[in-house]
Amino acid sequence: MRVFKSKIKKKYIDDLKNQISNGRIINWSPEKNKNAGLKFKDLKYILNYWKTKFDWEKQEEVLNKFNQYKLKINDVDLHFLHIKSSFKNAKPLMLIHGWPGSIFEFLDIIPMLSNPIGKNKNDFLPFDLVVPSLPNVGYSFSLNQKPKDLDQIASIFLKLMNKIGYKKYFIQGGDLGSFIASIMAVKKPKRVLGIHINMLPLPRGLNKKPKNKLEQKFFLDLKNWMHFETGYQAIQGTKPFTVAHALNSSPIALCSYISEKFYSWTDNKGKLFKTINIDRMLANISLYWFTGCIGGSFWPYYIRHRSDWPIDKNKPIEVPTGYSEFPKELFLPPKTLAEQFYKQINFWKKHKTGGHFAALEQPDELVLDINDFVKKNI
């Protein structure tokens, strides 16, 4: 295991800004349809901020305040944060990001979880945190690395926890992280004390005959989402090389592709940067740019498109499960459906605001939910 610090050379930072300055964007269509993708004015605003106000070195400094390591597991030189709480009774917790996210999603909640402070600190549990970068993403990416599916990633993360000395632990995840957490729970139910997720990755093949109006609404919403919002899955699952070449050739293209998901998947009411921190979003996009990992981040979609659904309906989750429902999540399964697969749901919290990127949008609520869930299961 090797100590790691992020250090992007100034020449690469300058090159990024030059490419933004010299790139071309065209306001090519008068169409005002809000569902047609990222708007010209929004992209123009983000690019101008990225070029003139965003400070990568400042974001890098925040990241480097936390202990980071590299550890070779199989053929992956895995990057991860390992933050030990100053409290002796801390509970081990792994945080797993999804796509198109990264470790930058969690930087604001790491101190809240590891060393709670303030007048309410006695109401919060302290955690020893392990925050890995997914293989093929960020500083876990390397050229010519073999593709990894979600099952393989889950096995790598189980090995990571074992190698750094955690025999029993909790897991939190959203997006792909919720899949990985669920798979880890199936593989090692005696080690995984419980999983808290903010997206419910139900397996295919569940009973789709609606038993009530909530289930009926869910299946209708899911059908609409699959029809209108899964173009990214189709291209990443079928022709990842094609789109990766385009995105790796231009920071403007990369920014447009990733930023659209932050607009589409957050509860922003048309004002994204009153909902999330623009610097955190751009740090995330910059990490994808500097490491060149966007193509690698597509591998789970490519493999899934050619194999069985990664969540097996014949292998239900038997460990304690908590779920935080944020209203603008991609899809919102009712509890009656979730209980067909997650057999020990003992925490279910509905929130009035929030979306897919919970750690960025609603950090206080997410931290509170994690605490309340873990308290139920210790």
Residue 189: count other Cβ atoms within 10 Å of its Cβ: 12
> Which residues are CB-neighbours of 269 under 8 A, at least 6 positions away?
275
DSSP 106: G
Asked if residue 130 lies in contact with residue 156, where contact means CB atoms within 8 angstroms, the answer is: no
Q: What is the mean pLDDT of each run of 10 residues along the chain (378 residues)?
A: 97 98 90 82 97 98 98 97 95 98 98 82 88 97 93 98 98 98 97 98 76 90 92 96 97 98 95 96 98 97 90 90 97 94 97 98 97 96
82 as an active site residue: the answer is no
Helix (H) or strand (E) holding 92: strand 91-96
pLDDT at res. 120: 61
Query: Which residue in the list 139, 169, 288, 301 is annotated as catalytic?
Result: 301
Catalytic status, residue 128 = no
User: Could you confirm whether 279 is annotated as catalytic?
Assistant: no
Q: How far apart are CA 150 and CA 186, in angstroms?
A: 13
Q: How far apart are the first and last CA of the chain?
A: 30
Q: Which of 128, 288, 356, 369 is catalytic?
A: 356
Domain ranges in the chain are 2-376
Query: What's the pLDDT score for residue 205?
Result: 67
C-alpha to C-alpha distance for 165 and 305, rounded to whole angstroms? 35
Q: Give CA–CA dist 52/231, Å, rounded.
A: 32
CATH T-level topology, domain 2-376: Rossmann fold (3.40.50)
Choose the catalytic residue: 97, 139, 169, 175.
175
What is the rounded distance in angstroms from the CA atom of residue 368 to the CA atom of residue 374?
10
- Gap between the Cα atoms of 77 and 69, Å rounded: 10
Separation between Cα atoms, residue 365 and residue 377, nearest integer Å: 19
Q: What is the 3-state secondary structure (H, E, C) of 5-26?
A: CCCCCHHHHHHHHHHHHHCCCC
User: pTM value?
Assistant: 0.96
